[in-house]
Structure 1
């Protein structure tokens, strides 16, 4: 983990360092260090070690010193990084615990940021797990070399003629391993808290969607109710028209033959066969109403069949 000056994001970059180290009692030690940048903290610390005569002699006789130096150059950067991520996660958790459903912070953009943080925590977990494996591997290699030194030659052995005791380096590597374990546990804790915040935000977005769906359903019900009322009014007007038109047609057919003004008074006078109007108009009206009823029944059956076919 390394601090960057990109001006965007969280301000940290995950770096992968490649190290090739060949060491032996009768072979010249060779180390190749691969890094993404030219001027790095590990490079400057290595230059300082090789410029100091005492450290240079120790580094030539102890293969663990350089590895411990490289690992310690970047491992402690996890502390401020995780503190920053934990503080950001805590602020989001406090925000979504007290926010209302209509608050603008309940949006998909916040969920995207949390998902991005979740993916970065997964990457950090993998890096720390690998770093812990590297530290334990180097520590195991150092202990094996100590065993070989004691078994072969307490004086010279594979460490060289003026070999230094690597016990301090092994203890330091043990401390680095404990730090890796602690940072790994911190990442796991932050990851779980991020999952809690994601759950809160997802529940809030679901409640928003459900509320919107309920509003749409209420509006649709009101519109349907209004349509039903309008349809009822249309049916009433249709029935009145169906009753009125046959009688109007019969009245027009008979004309003024059934009614007229009395010669003796100004009152309306009906003919003796006025019942012909009723005998003609009533059956015609009933037939018209029957045709209308049959048409409505057929329309209702057609709509029912359409609903059944749509459901299937």
Structure 2
């Protein structure tokens, strides 16, 4: 993925650098400082001593989850070069870029590990649901974390990528890091920051699944209580809603599988480093992994239920259409029988009607003296006109048979498409997901 759309030319949303000093610099324990401007961060990186910190944390955010990272590429390159971060780090910011649609909405960067003699680099991304501030709608967000721990110096470098300013994980990590300055001089759990990230966002998955299930239950109940021989309370719009829910449950399964893999990899890595220090974090991550397995099972069950309901609804609508078609065929058969009967009557009375009409014209008269029918020699006018009219009728019928497309087009009703403003509004509206389920977008 190109990095061109990942950064801004000028920082607008706040970025933050938190620096925790080593515990042995003063008798008062650790101290901390927080820098929130791009220029101050650049000055700090250019003039700081490599041993002046025990933990340096950089927090970067997007203005929205579809925007670029609110940091310049030059500043992030300076941070990377000053701390000797490997080039593979750029895979992490490449997941946060400006977009116009839901591209890569289900992609998650797996746990990537780079080891040296005394340090270990870990970075990954996770996706999670978050309730929007306006309430009622959920969005799938993405956060990323880069983490390096040097066991020889006990120094930690971390970078948090957040989808919105002042995200929940940013606030909790900030409170944790600033709280270290008032703690003891002993080294804290170096893996605690990973536990904070998952503890912040993971509980929302249960609420999100319950939200989707509340959307599914009315559709399921209505569909199973529908009979084809009664007026239907469901239609093709319900089928569209079920298809949308089916895709959402499939998305949950994909994202939860990724989170399960990340948690499993992190627990294994931390156990290899120091099980005694990271035991609490490992237990917490393992508990989250077990819950992710449970959420996957629930998502699979709900997806199968949505598929079963959608299939039942599709069959119901199909049977309903077949029943209506059968009724229409019965009506057409009855009409055909009536048409045959009327045609038979017409053929029966047509010769007598023609004879009566022909002799009832003024071309013939009854001679009262001789008691005979007297005809005029002008009867040829009737014969010629009848022949000409018959020829014209058959020619018109022949032309219609060979030019029926033109006739149908001219006879079809004209639809008023409205003005261009209405069409533009409708086109913009139709770009989303017009279903009964609220739009759950990033």
Relative to the length of structure 1, the TM-score reads 0.67
Cα distance, 1:143–1:181 mapped onto 2, change above 3 Å? same
Aligned CA RMSD, in angstroms, stands at 3.4
Report if aligned partners of 1:64, 1:138 keep a CA contact under 8 Å in 2: no
Report if aligned partners of 2:219, 2:242 keep a CA contact under 8 Å in 1: no
**Residue 208, structure 1, aligned to residue 334, structure 2:** no
Cα distance, 1:184–1:54 mapped onto 2, change above 3 Å? farther
Match of 1:133 among 258, 261, 267: 261
Q: For residue 16 of structure 1, give the secondary structure of its aligned residue in structure 2.
A: strand
Which residue of structure 2 lines up, in the alignment, with residue 75 of structure 1? 202
Equivalent residues in 2 for 1:39-78, closer than 5 Å: 39-53=166-180, 61-78=188-205
Cα distance, 1:86–1:174 mapped onto 2, change above 3 Å? same
Cα distance, 1:246–1:201 mapped onto 2, change above 3 Å? closer
Question: Mean Cα displacement is larger for which, 200-209 or 182-191?
Answer: 200-209
Which residue of structure 2 lines up, in the alignment, with residue 286 of structure 1? none
**Residue 166, structure 1, aligned to residue 278, structure 2:** yes
**Shift, 1:50, TM fit:** 1.2
**Shift, 1:85, TM fit:** 2.2
Which residue of structure 1 lines up, in the alignment, with residue 337 of structure 2? 225
Q: For residue 165 of structure 1, give the secondary structure of its aligned residue in structure 2.
A: helix
Cα distance, 1:50–1:245 mapped onto 2, change above 3 Å? closer
Which residue of structure 1 lines up, in the alignment, with residue 140 of structure 2? 14
Query: Which string of whole-angstrom CA distances, capped at 9 and with x for unpartnered residues, describes residues 244-264 of structure 1?
Result: 89999xxx9xx999989xxxx
Report if aligned partners of 1:64, 1:166 keep a CA contact under 8 Å in 2: yes
Cα distance, 1:198–1:165 mapped onto 2, change above 3 Å? same
Question: Separation in 1 of the partners of 2:324 and 2:144?
Answer: 54
Cα distance, 1:53–1:182 mapped onto 2, change above 3 Å? same
Report if aligned partners of 2:222, 2:234 keep a CA contact under 8 Å in 1: no
Q: For residue 166 of structure 1, give the secondary structure of its aligned residue in structure 2.
A: helix
**Residue 24, structure 1, aligned to residue 150, structure 2:** yes
5+ long unaligned stretches in structure 1: 148-163, 261-312
Whose strand fraction is larger, Structure 1's or Structure 2's?
2
Which residue of structure 1 lines up, in the alignment, with residue 242 of structure 2? 114
Relative to the length of structure 2, the TM-score reads 0.48
Cα distance, 1:58–1:49 mapped onto 2, change above 3 Å? farther
Report if aligned partners of 1:62, 1:166 keep a CA contact under 8 Å in 2: yes
Question: Separation in 2 of the partners of 1:40 and 1:103?
Answer: 50
Question: Separation in 2 of the partners of 1:49 and 1:237?
Answer: 103
Report if aligned partners of 1:49, 1:55 keep a CA contact under 8 Å in 2: no
**Shift, 1:178, TM fit:** 0.3
Which residue of structure 1 lines up, in the alignment, with residue 310 of structure 2? 198
5+ long unaligned stretches in structure 2: 1-128, 373-442
Question: Separation in 2 of the partners of 1:90 and 1:55?
Answer: 51
**Shift, 1:6, TM fit:** 3.7
**Residue 234, structure 1, aligned to residue 346, structure 2:** yes
**Shift, 1:55, TM fit:** 9.0
Question: Separation in 1 of the partners of 2:316 and 2:290?
Answer: 39
| Count of equivalent residues | 243
Question: Mean Cα displacement is larger for which, 26-35 or 128-137?
Answer: 26-35
Whose helix fraction is larger, Structure 1's or Structure 2's?
1
Report if aligned partners of 1:136, 1:177 keep a CA contact under 8 Å in 2: yes
**Shift, 1:145, TM fit:** 1.5
Report if aligned partners of 1:114, 1:198 keep a CA contact under 8 Å in 2: yes
Report if aligned partners of 1:121, 1:191 keep a CA contact under 8 Å in 2: yes
Q: For residue 29 of structure 1, give the secondary structure of its aligned residue in structure 2.
A: strand
Cα distance, 1:194–1:71 mapped onto 2, change above 3 Å? same
